[in-house]
Amino acid sequence: MEIESLSSGYTEPPKPVDTTPSSRLGPPIPGLYFDPSVLLPDELAESLLQKCMETYFYEENVNQVMLFERVMTRDDASLGSSASTGLPPFLRDLLSTLSAHLHPLLPRDTHKLLFPPAGSPPRARQAIVNFYRPGEGIAPHVDLLERFGDGIVGVSLGSGCVMRFAPAGGAAGPQHTVFLPHGSVYVMSGEARYGWAHGIEGRREDWVQACVGAAEGRWVMRAIRVSVTFRWLLPGADVVGGLPDADAKY
């Protein structure tokens, strides 16, 4: 069996009890968009990873950074287009790239939700940059309803990992797992954003379809993964503090 990123002395884990490998295609959840062939150019993905590492994760104990935009006021605008809105230029550039890359994949309304055309009412974004070592994950959650609006876009950098989707609130129903490779992008909107919890199990390797649609699986080792996710702040939610945060990383 083929193993990616095989380190010396590594012993392959036993085959999982549930041998169904995680899918390499997006699960059939309305409002969830993921296409493994929509990848950021490798050079861009590498440079983003490096930029996040040197900007945010140079200290051992930092594994999550939250960045908040604020809506530009008339006073900001009068300072000229260089007035800061809160996201660093490399993340603003990433948003422009994502807009172009996702254009063919998304329904027009979803694309407009994520990347409103010029002249739309101003809104503020929030970005979370997460750092995961192999073995780390994020508990299943629905991104905070009181704080964030509809339309979440996420980028995986450095390592692939499997994301699990389960009906929100512990409701019964089938769960779905999808492998998110380095450089890939996912979008959660509508039902996928509100009706499903997403999470990443704290594992060192994932059991993944050998190739798209294959019944056979193979182990894919995790390496350091950085994710960048963007969402909309609801009005008033740029005042930080007070609200419990559902995103427990482990």
Ligand X SMILES: O=C(O)CCC(=O)C(=O)O
Closer residue to ligand X in complex, CB, 51/72: 51
Site string for Fe ion, 139-178 (x = CB under 5 A): ----x-----------------------------------
Smallest gap from residue 173 Cβ to ligand X (A): 20
Is residue 172 within 8 Å of residue 147, measured between CB atoms? no
Per-residue b/e over 14-45, b at no fewer than 16 CB within 10 Å?
eeeeeeebbbbebbebebbbbbbebbbeeebb
Q: How many residues does the chain have?
A: 250
Residue 154 within binding range of ligand X, rule CB under 6 A: yes
**Where does 18-149 have alpha helices with state H?**
42-56, 74-78, 89-102, 108-114
- The residue among 3 and 128 lying less far from ligand X, judged by its C-beta, is 128
Minimum separation from the CB atom of position 138 to ligand X (A): 5
Hey, how many other C-beta atoms are within 10 angstroms of the C-beta on 211? 9
Among 130, 159, 177, 189, binds ligand X (CB under 6 A): 130
129 binds ligand X (CB under 6 A): no
Contacting positions for ligand X (CB under 6 A): 128, 130, 138, 143, 154, 198, 227, 229, 247
